[in-house]
Amino acid sequence: MAGVCRVRATARAGSVKPGRLPLARGPLRCHPHRTWHLIARPVQAHNTVICLDPPPMAGIQDSDELRAAVFAFLDELQREHGPYLTRGQINSFAFDGQPLSLMVQNGIRTPSRWPDPLSITSTNRSEDAGGYTDEDRGEGLRLYRYMRERSTAAPALNRSLDHAAISGRPLVYFIEVGERRYEPVYPVFITGTEHHGVIVSDEPASGEYAELVDLRRYARREARVRLHQREFRSRVLFAYSDRCCICSLRHRGLLDAAHIVDDAHEQGVALVSNGLAMCRIHHGAYDQPLLGISPDLKVEINGEVLGEIDGPMLRHGLQDMHGRSIDVPRRPTDQPDRDRLAWKYGRFKGLSA
């Protein structure tokens, strides 16, 4: 019997009559979280098999209240642990006393008998390593690819993604920012389908769930970083330990993920190696360009700016940074690409000459 816990009990020969067993009355608790019921069947007069079957469980039903509770739970987790969470922390959620995991290894968390997913998870692994290549669509949109048909669960999970485009229910988008670390983005919405996947947006297709998720509150929290930019920002800031690579400022709300090669350029890919964690002052100066970074990782300030006389922000925020070496991530694959730095530095020198 699949899914049945079996316990073998032995009775003295002759003490049990055929068809009549000395069963304990009531349920038997043999698991810390489940109550099992006794089912007994005589095998021989001296040997009885007692099967313990779990009682049917009603399960947790999807509801607006549950999803609102998930968002509140993730708010509290991030207040306590910061923006980057482990799978264990994320999956410690419970609703009405019943545990409910919020994310799964395959990336699409659709609990049993639910029509809509509760969460989806991105990956920073390549397709060769079993990951997926999701695509930016701009304007807060992202293509989230369907699960490959290698798994028997794939058709049902992919259908749940399609159904969410119809229902409009809010869900959580977990961004894998580094090894065993995830940043939750919520609420997000599946607003359309394509041949290879579904379109995920940071805005609902209709206003039905606006009151439930309080979109304005979540918009203020991250200064409205659009979804198609969010993965890049999260992964870059995680790689740089939420610290400006020039001045070491650690206030995450004042940090940006600056592109080395502009994202509008064909080489402006959303890779950590094409990004630098910068405070907003230095990001603005890098884009002007009033500040350059050479391929050997040295900061260079525009000559005219170096000669200006102004207040303490100019002096300490820019002029004192001249000649400093930037901080870079420990992982070589996350460190800034030297060829891209050279391209950007060449533009800085040409425009500041």
Q: pLDDT digits over 49-71, tens only?
A: 443 333 434 579 999 999 999 99
| Spatial distance between the Cα atoms of 3 and 202, rounded to a whole number of angstroms | 41
CB 132 within 8 A of CB 106: no
**Residues 210 and 109 grouped into a single domain:** yes
Using the predicted structure, report yes or no on whether residue 276 has a pLDDT greater than 60.
yes
Mean pLDDT of 289-311: 94
Identify the pLDDT of residue 98. Answer: 94
Q: Domain for residue 112, yes or no?
A: yes
Identify the pLDDT of residue 58. Answer: 56
Q: What is the pLDDT of residues 8-48, one digit of tens each?
A: 333 333 433 444 434 433 443 333 333 333 334 443 444 44
**Residues 134 and 245 grouped into a single domain:** no
Q: What is the pLDDT of residues 214-236, one digit of tens each?
A: 544 444 444 445 666 788 899 99
**Residues 161 and 281 grouped into a single domain:** no
Tokens 């994310």 locate to 103
Using pLDDT thresholds of 50, 70 and 90, give the confidence band for residue 326: very high
| Spatial distance between the Cα atoms of 317 and 244, rounded to a whole number of angstroms | 12
**Residues 76 and 14 grouped into a single domain:** no
Q: Domain for residue 59, yes or no?
A: no
**Residues 25 and 107 grouped into a single domain:** no
Q: Domain for residue 221, yes or no?
A: yes
Using pLDDT thresholds of 50, 70 and 90, give the confidence band for residue 289: confident
**Residues 81 and 227 grouped into a single domain:** yes
Domain boundary among the residues 178, 203, 234 is at: 234
CB atoms within 10 A of CB 302: 21
Q: Domain for residue 116, yes or no?
A: yes
Q: CATH number for the domain including 219?
A: 2.30.280
Using the predicted structure, report yes or no on whether residue 337 has a pLDDT greater than 90.
yes
Domain boundary among the residues 172, 203, 234 is at: 234
**Residues 159 and 296 grouped into a single domain:** no
Give the strands of the sheet with 28-31, arranged side by side.
5-10, 47-53, 34-44, 28-31
Task: Work out how many domains the chain is built from and give that number.
Answer: 3
Q: For the chain, what is the largest distance between any 2 Cα atoms, rounded to a whole number of angstroms?
A: 106
The conformation of residue 149, written as its DSSP 8-state character, comes to T
Comparing 111-125, 139-153, 300-314, the range with the smallest average pLDDT is 139-153
Q: Domain for residue 58, yes or no?
A: no
**Residues 22 and 118 grouped into a single domain:** no
Using the predicted structure, report yes or no on whether residue 300 has a pLDDT greater than 70.
yes
Mean per-residue pLDDT over the chain, rounded: 80
CB 292 within 8 A of CB 260: no
**Residues 82 and 226 grouped into a single domain:** yes
Provide CB contacts within 8 A for 3, sequence distance 6+.
54
Mean pLDDT of 318-347: 96
The answer, as to whether pTM is greater than 0.95, is no
- Structural domain for 258, as ranges: 240-352
Q: How big is the CA angle at 155 (ends 150 and 161), to the nearest 5 degrees? A: 120
**Residues 127 and 104 grouped into a single domain:** yes
Provide CB contacts within 8 A for 89, sequence distance 6+.
77, 81
